[in-house]
Amino acid sequence: MPAPLAPLVGDELLEAVTDAMIALHQRYHHRAPVTAKTLLLGGDLLACVLGGVYTDVEKTMIELQRSPIVQETRSAFQNAIQQKFITAVERLSGRDVLAFISNHHVGPDIEIKLFILEPGEFAHDW
């Protein structure tokens, strides 16, 4: 069994989380988002913003004024697989995820994933 990797910090962590979110999106939605960026805010809030996330089927449903169905399906699916996103961030950061929030927006086509990490060097009271 390979030795566990040391937790990542700084730009390495942000790039690795972005890559992990892209890979998970690719695996479960069968396409990569068009854009992706991760930021660390206040030392313990990771925010990953993905753009261009909808599949062709979802885009068609949105064009047909069926956005609520797309949003409901995405939300239900996100809840079902949220542990995969949490596990990836915990593995990369070496910190527990205290809370995970994910949501998506139609027009512009954006998805956001927020990870509140256990207090680190810059602790906050949540």
pLDDT in tens, 61-86: 999 999 999 999 999 999 999 999 99
SS3 content of the chain, % helix, strand, coil (to 5): 45, 25, 30
Q: Whole domain around residue 50: which residue ranges?
A: 10-117
Provide, rounded to the nearest whole percent, the portion of the chain with pLDDT above 90: 87
Does the structure show a pLDDT above 70 at 4?
A: no
Q: Residue 25: which of 91, 98, 104, 92 has the closest Cα?
A: 104
Position 126 in a domain: no
Does the structure show a pLDDT above 50 at 124?
A: no
The mean pLDDT value for 81-92 works out to: 97
Residue by residue, DSSP assigns 32-86 as --SEEEEEEETTTEEEEEEES---HHHHHHHHTT-HHHHHHHHHHHHHHHHHHHH
Position 1 in a domain: no
CATH number for the domain harbouring residue 22: 3.30.70
Q: What is the mean pLDDT of the chain?
A: 91
pLDDT digits (tens, 9 = 90+) for 100-122: 999 999 988 999 999 999 987 54
pLDDT band of residue 1 (cuts 50, 70, 90) is very low
Number of domains in the chain: 1
Position 4 in a domain: no
Position 2 in a domain: no
Q: Residue 17: which of 117, 122, 123, 119 has the closest Cα?
A: 117
Position 40 in a domain: yes
The mean pLDDT value for 2-31 works out to: 90
Position 124 in a domain: no
Position 62 in a domain: yes
Distance CA 107, CA 95 (A): 34
The mean pLDDT value for 8-35 works out to: 96
